[in-house]
């Protein structure tokens, strides 16, 4: 055998041996999982009737004058004669998966929201099933629909998303761009992602390809269990997708499949996360917890004796790391339940028990975290006591606090974001109604290294912590 032939045989042998080597090295084979799980994944199509409004004009208004598309929309209206208010059909699509043999299916709320008609199709069935909407939850983007079938439907079971580890293999099945039963594989890239999709962001991040049409489909572990519901993508990136973790979704789905509105606990406060400077001002050992910036009068927190300036460190013994953490823990409890809160007040831990109210659209804004300000080294402000005229103009109940008349433009106070017209109500949780009172608090607490100011701005309360020069 000549050397060239021998070399070719060796290379060919290596190539042919690659599948064996891959299996020997523990790389996953998805064929059986894809075949089994794919039978439970559905294609969802929706139709809804919308008012055309001003037709192409609604788009034309967003196009600058002189742009060639302006002329296109003008001619479109002239040719087709579409009149304002003329109804038109709008279609959509997404994915879902079966969770009960009698036809309950999970998907995303945004897939079916506003639909007049929802239809479902399976991989191994040419029939089209009309679905009814059983329940939906806008805040977590989850929905449950139901179909009637003369056969027992294959289901997918939920797994434990909390047990997932970054780097673990996962499989996504769905209908991206209407391409039925598309399977993509990847790993868990990260956990607990906040992407601004809603108040309960806690997404799994994966590099398994997820595209429009995958929404509502399952993200599966290697045992074929649903560990996430594919929901969102980063349109500016390649292979960055997000899924609602099963541990969060199951609690919501259990309520939705019974046709019930999702009920969540609420305590009636505004909150913000604690930064390092604020922790120093409060005497906290570390920058953790949710700082109460205001308490609604006669709401659950107020009735329990919780005060503005308290920091919530624990809920029923579970630690609270930041404002998002508190929001999720309280919302995970039912209205009417009692929750034991561990607070930081006066440089010590205390406990309060609150009977939860019910979170709803009317009260939702009360739990949105306020954004903390960046730190400044000195106050850098010109202050004046608030009189009757200023109190009336600012909507204050009575003359109180110090109005910021001027902020030195080159001072860290200006960089901190303190504005002309802000009203300082408290310093380190003590009322201040004169510059001398503020200076007294600063002198008294200078060893803390920071002062916490409670500011009222345009009717809203927020805390700002400023470092103090300890020289």
Q: Is 110 among the annotated ligand-binding positions?
A: yes
Of 40, 95, 189, 215, which is the active-site residue? 215
Spell out a b/e string for 427-463, using b for 16 or more CB atoms within 10 Å of the CB, else e. Answer: bbbeebeebeebeebbeebeebebbbbbbbbeeebbb
The CA distances from residue 432 to 21, 384, 452, in Å, are 74, 11, 12
CA distances, 154 to each of 149, 239, 320 (Å): 12, 29, 40
Is 233 within any annotated ligand binding site? yes
Active site (annotated) includes residue 215: yes
Report helix, strand or coil for 303: helix
Q: What is the dihedral of CA 428, 430, 431, 434, to 10 degrees?
A: -70
Contact 249, 142 (CB under 8 A): yes
Whether 110 is catalytic is yes
**Rounded-to-integer distance, Cα 43 and Cα 143, Å:** 15
Task: Express the helix, strand and coil content of the chain in percent, nearest 5 each.
Answer: 25, 35, 40
Question: Does the annotation place 235 within a ligand binding site?
Answer: yes
116 is in an annotated binding site: no
Whether 125 sits among the annotated catalytic residues: the reply is: no
Residue 246 contacts residue 158 (beta carbons within 8 Å): yes
Cα–Cα distance, 248 to 158 (Å, whole number) = 11
What is the distance in angstroms between the CA of the first residue and the CA of the last residue of the chain?
88
Residue 213 annotated as binding site = yes
The catalytically annotated residue of 40, 95, 110, 445 is: 110
Name the DSSP letter for residue 258. T
Ligand-binding annotation for 47, yes or no, is yes
Rounded Cα distance between 68 and 4, Å, is: 63
Residue 232, marked binder: yes
CA distances from 440 to 178, 256, 335, 344, 430 (A): 68, 56, 43, 23, 11
**DSSP-derived secondary structure for 76-98:** HHHHH-PPTT-EEEEEEEEEEEE
Q: 40, 95, 137, 141: which is the annotated catalytic residue?
A: 141
Please identify every residue annotated as catalytic.
110, 141, 215
Per the annotation, binding residues for substrate are 47, 110, 141, 213-215, 231-235
Per the annotation, binding residues are 47, 110, 141, 213-215, 231-235
């Amino acid at each position: 055998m000549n050397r060239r032939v021998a070399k070719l045989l060796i290379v060919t042998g290596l190539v042919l041996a690659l599948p064996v080597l891959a299996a020997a090295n523990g790389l996953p084979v998805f064929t059986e999982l894809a075949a089994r799980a794919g039978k439970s994944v559905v294609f969802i199509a929706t139709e809804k009737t919308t008012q055309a409004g001003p037709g192409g004009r609604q788009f034309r208004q967003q196009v600058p004058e002189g742009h060639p598309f302006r002329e296109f929309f003008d001619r479109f209206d002239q040719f087709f004669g579409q009149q304002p208010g003329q109804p038109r059909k709008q279609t959509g699509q997404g994915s879902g998966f079966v969770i009960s043999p009698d036809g309950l299916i999970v998907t995303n709320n945004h897939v079916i929201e506003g639909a007049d008609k929802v239809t479902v199709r399976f991989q191994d069935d040419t029939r089209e099933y009309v679905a009814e909407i059983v329940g939906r939850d806008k805040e977590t983007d989850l929905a449950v629909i139901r179909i009637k079938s003369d056969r027992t439907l294959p289901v997918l079971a939920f797994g434990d998303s909390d047990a997932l580890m970054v780097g673990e293999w996962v499989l996504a099945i769905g209908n991206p761009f209407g391409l039925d039963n598309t399977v993509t594989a990847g790993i868990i890239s990260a956990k607990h992602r906040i992407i601004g999709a809603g108040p309960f962001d806690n997404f799994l991040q994966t590099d398994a390809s997820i595209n429009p049409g995958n929404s509502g489909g399952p993200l599966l572990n290697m045992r074929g269990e649903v560990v996430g519901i594919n929901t969102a993508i980063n349109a500016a990136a390649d292979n960055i997708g997000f899924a609602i973790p099963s541990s969060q979704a199951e609690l919501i789905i259990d309520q939705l499949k019974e046709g019930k509105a999702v009920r969540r606990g609420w305590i009636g406060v505004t909150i913000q996360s604690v930064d390092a400077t604020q922790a120093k001002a409060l005497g906290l050992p570390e920058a953790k917890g949710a700082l109460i910036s205001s308490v609604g009068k006669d709401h659950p927190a107020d009735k329990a004796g919780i005060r503005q300036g308290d920091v919530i460190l624990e809920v029923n013994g579970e630690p609270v790391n930041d404002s998002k953490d508190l929001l999720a823990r309280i919302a995970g409890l039912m209205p009417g339940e009692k929750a034991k809160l561990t607070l930081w007040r006066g440089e010590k831990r205390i406990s309060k028990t609150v009977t939860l109210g019910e979170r709803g659209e009317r009260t939702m804004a009360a739990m949105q975290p306020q954004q903390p300000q960046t730190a400044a080294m000195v106050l850098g402000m010109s202050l004046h006591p608030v009189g009757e005229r200023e109190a009336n103009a600012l909507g204050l109940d009575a003359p109180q606090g110090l109005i910021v008349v001027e902020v030195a433009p080159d001072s860290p106070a200006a960089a901190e974001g303190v504005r002309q017209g802000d009203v300082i109500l408290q310093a380190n949780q003590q009322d201040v109604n004169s510059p001398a009172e503020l200076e007294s608090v600063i002198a008294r607490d200078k060893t803390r290294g920071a002062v916490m100011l409670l500011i009222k701005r345009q009717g809203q309360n927020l805390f700002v912590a400023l470092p103090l020069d300890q020289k």
